[in-house]
A and B are shown apart, each in its own frame.
Chain A
C-alpha cells in the first residue's frame, strides 16, 4: 500500500530537487543572486548573467541531474535484477567497457563528440559481451550473469591500467578525470532527457512486477510475472541508462549504489515510490555534488566523482552499519 508517508517523501524529494538546482545555478565564479536569477529567467534582455546561466550553468546542471538520475535508476534496477544489495550500475562491466573506449579515444587525441561516441561504443560492446557469455547456453541465472559481469569488469580494469601506464603524462591527466567522473566537458541533448523520462515512466510501469521479482524468480513466476522477458528488459534498459550516464560524465561513483539504498532505508521499498524517488534524489545528489566540485577549490575544479565518493563512502558505511544492527 502506498502510505501517506511515502507521498510525503516524494514531495520532499521534489522540493529538495528544485532547491539543489537553484543552488547549483547560483554557485560559481560569477556571483548571481536569487533576484538576478529570476530576472534573467523572466526577461529576454541579454546580460552577462543570463549568458553565464544559459551557456554554462544550466547545461551543466542539467547534465548533472540527468546523469545522477540515470545512475540511481540503473542501480535500483540492477539491485532487483541481480538480487544483490551490492549491485550498482557498473557491476556488469559497462563502465569498464566505456572507460576503455574513452581512454583509447583520449590516447589518439579525440575529444568531445568522438570521445563520447567511443565511450558509448565501448559500453555497448561490453553489454553484448557480458550478455553473450552469460546467455551462451540459454541459461542466464543471476549468479552466472553476476560472475560474468565481475570477470569482464576485471578484464577491462587490466586494459585500463595498461592504457594508463603506457600513456604520456598529459593524456593520463585527462584519463584520470574521465575515470573519476567529470562533468566539465559534458553536454546533454534532448535525447538524454527523453531517455531519463522514458526510463522513469517505464520503471514505474513495471514497478509492481519489480516488487515481486526482488523476492526471487520462482515466487515471481508463481505470482504471474513473466520473469524471462522482464529480466531481459531490465538488463538492457539498465545497461543503456548506465552507458548513457558514463558517456555524459565518465564513471561517477557511488550515486547508483547508495541512492537506492538510502531511499529503501527511509521506507521507499515499494518500487512504485522507489523508482521516481531514485530519479529525483539521484539527480539532485549529483547536482549538489557538482556544485561543490566547481566551487570548493575554485578556480580549479574537482572531478565530480571525487565529491560523490567523499560524501558516498561515509554514507554507505552508515547504511551498512544500520543493516547489521537489524
Chain B
C-alpha cells in the first residue's frame, strides 16, 4: 500500500513554476532520491509535504487522507523532516534537544514518559552521540550538530522520513553510517524516505527510486537505473555529465 500519494501536483513560487503535474506513489520500505539543480524546487517540494507550502493544484495524500485534513500533531507523528539548515545551537543539553523529537507523541504534561526517554536514548546511540548526552549543544561541532538533528528525526519515529541534504557537514564515514542507520530504520518499521541531495552518487548508492526535477517544472519519476542516465542528468543540471562503472558501482561526474 502506498504511504504517500502525490497526485498532479503543481508548485510555484511567485511566477516561477517548480513542479508541474507531478505524480508519485511512495510505498512502504522505499527510498527515494530527490535530485535537481540549485533552485529547482527540492526543498520547496519537501516543505509542501509537511503542509508548509500550499500547492496551486493537485493533492498530497498520506495513507489515503489529504495532509491538509490532518491535525498538525497527527501529521508530525507520521512525517518527520530534517531541514537543510539542521538545528540551531540554542543553550540546551544534547539529551534535552533530542527529546524534542518526541514532541508529537508526548502525552504527559509535566514528566517524561520512560518510553520516550528510551526511544530518545537509542536515537542518540544510533548516531554515536550517547557519550555526549549531557553536553551543551553550543559546544558541538558542525558534524555532531548534524548528527543530533538526525537523532532528533529518528526519535520522532515517523512513517515518512524527509531529508534535506542529510550529508551536510558529515565526513564519509558518517555519511555511510547515516545511510545504513536510515536504511535499517526504514526496513524495520516499514517506513519510507525521500532524500533531497545535490550528490548524485549518494542517491545512486542509496535510493532505488528517483524524482529528478528538470527545468520549467518538468520532472522524471521512476526507478533509479531508468532515470539516472547521462542524458537525463545532463539535461537536468544543464551541464554534460558522464558516468563510469566499476563492479556494481556507477559513478557520475561532470565531463
Listed in ascending order, the chain A residues whose CB lies under 8 Å from chain B are 1-2, 204-205, 208-209, 211-212, 214-216, 218-219, 221-226, 264, 269-270, 272, 326
Known: A1-B99, A223-B104. A218 touches B83 (CB 8 A): yes
Determine the chain B residues whose CB is within 8 A of the CB of A224 once the complex forms: 72-77, 103-104
Can you list 17 residue pairs at the A/B interface with Cβ under 8 Å? A1-B112, A2-B112, A204-B110, A208-B103, A208-B106, A209-B103, A215-B87, A215-B88, A216-B88, A218-B52, A219-B83, A221-B50, A221-B51, A221-B76, A222-B80, A223-B100, A326-B138
Of B13-21, B30-38, B89-97, B222-230, the stretch lying at the interface with chain A is B89-97
Determine the chain A residues whose CB is within 8 A of the CB of B90 once the complex forms: 214-215
The reply to whether A270 and B91 contact each other, CB–CB distance below 8 Å, is no
Interface positions, chain B 108-163, Cβ under 8 Å from A, are 109-112, 117, 138, 156
Q: Is B81 part of the binding interface, using a Cβ–Cβ cutoff of 8 Å? A: yes
Kindly state the separation between the CA atoms of A215 and B103 in the bound complex, as whole angstroms: 13
Of the candidates A2, A223, A225, the one whose C-beta lies within 8 Å of that of B111 is A2
Q: Is B101 part of the binding interface, using a Cβ–Cβ cutoff of 8 Å? A: yes
The residue of chain B having its C-beta at the shortest distance from the C-beta of A214 within the complex is: B90
New A-B pairs, 14, CB < 8 Å, besides A218-B52, A222-B76:
A1-B95, A1-B99, A1-B112, A2-B110, A215-B87, A221-B76, A223-B100, A224-B103, A225-B73, A269-B91, A269-B92, A269-B96, A270-B96, A272-B110
The reply to whether B96 and A222 contact each other, CB–CB distance below 8 Å, is no
Determine the chain A residues whose CB is within 8 A of the CB of B73 once the complex forms: 224-226
Determine the chain B residues whose CB is within 8 A of the CB of A272 once the complex forms: 109-110
For A214, A221, A224, the residue with the greatest tally of chain B CB atoms inside 10 Å of its CB is A224
Determine the chain B residues whose CB is within 8 A of the CB of A264 once the complex forms: 91
Known: A222-B81, A264-B91. A208 touches B101 (CB 8 A): no
Determine the chain B residues whose CB is within 8 A of the CB of A214 once the complex forms: 90
Determine the chain B residues whose CB is within 8 A of the CB of A326 once the complex forms: 91, 138
The reply to whether B100 and A222 contact each other, CB–CB distance below 8 Å, is no
Kindly state the separation between the CA atoms of A173 and B117 in the bound complex, as whole angstroms: 58
Closest CB of chain A to B147's CB: distance in Å? Answer: 17
Closest CB of chain A to B192's CB: distance in Å? Answer: 17
Of the candidates A1, A216, A225, A270, the one whose C-beta lies within 8 Å of that of B72 is A225
Closest CB of chain B to A319's CB: distance in Å? Answer: 12
Closest CB of chain B to A4's CB: distance in Å? Answer: 13
Closest CB of chain B to A244's CB: distance in Å? Answer: 25
The residue of chain A having its C-beta at the shortest distance from the C-beta of B134 within the complex is: A3
Determine the chain A residues whose CB is within 8 A of the CB of B75 once the complex forms: 224
The residue of chain A having its C-beta at the shortest distance from the C-beta of B52 within the complex is: A221
Kindly state the separation between the CA atoms of A216 and B77 in the bound complex, as whole angstroms: 18
9 pairs of A and B residues whose beta carbons are closest in the complex: A224-B76, A224-B104, A224-B73, A223-B103, A226-B72, A222-B81, A224-B72, A212-B103, A1-B112
Kindly state the separation between the CA atoms of A210 and B103 in the bound complex, as whole angstroms: 11
Closest CB of chain B to A321's CB: distance in Å? Answer: 16
Kindly state the separation between the CA atoms of A214 and B95 in the bound complex, as whole angstroms: 17
Kindly state the separation between the CA atoms of A64 and B253 in the bound complex, as whole angstroms: 70
Kindly state the separation between the CA atoms of A272 and B71 in the bound complex, as whole angstroms: 24
Determine the chain A residues whose CB is within 8 A of the CB of B72 once the complex forms: 221, 224-226
Kindly state the separation between the CA atoms of A222 and B87 in the bound complex, as whole angstroms: 12
The residue of chain A having its C-beta at the shortest distance from the C-beta of B74 within the complex is: A224
Known: A2-B111, A224-B75, A224-B77. A211 touches B100 (CB 8 A): yes
The reply to whether A1 and B96 contact each other, CB–CB distance below 8 Å, is yes
The residue of chain B having its C-beta at the shortest distance from the C-beta of A225 within the complex is: B72
The residue of chain B having its C-beta at the shortest distance from the C-beta of A216 within the complex is: B88
The residue of chain A having its C-beta at the shortest distance from the C-beta of B73 within the complex is: A224
Closest CB of chain A to B154's CB: distance in Å? Answer: 13
Closest CB of chain A to B132's CB: distance in Å? Answer: 15
Kindly state the separation between the CA atoms of A126 and B165 in the bound complex, as whole angstroms: 44
Known: A1-B95, A215-B90, A264-B91. A208 touches B109 (CB 8 A): yes
Determine the chain B residues whose CB is within 8 A of the CB of A222 once the complex forms: 50, 76, 80-81, 83
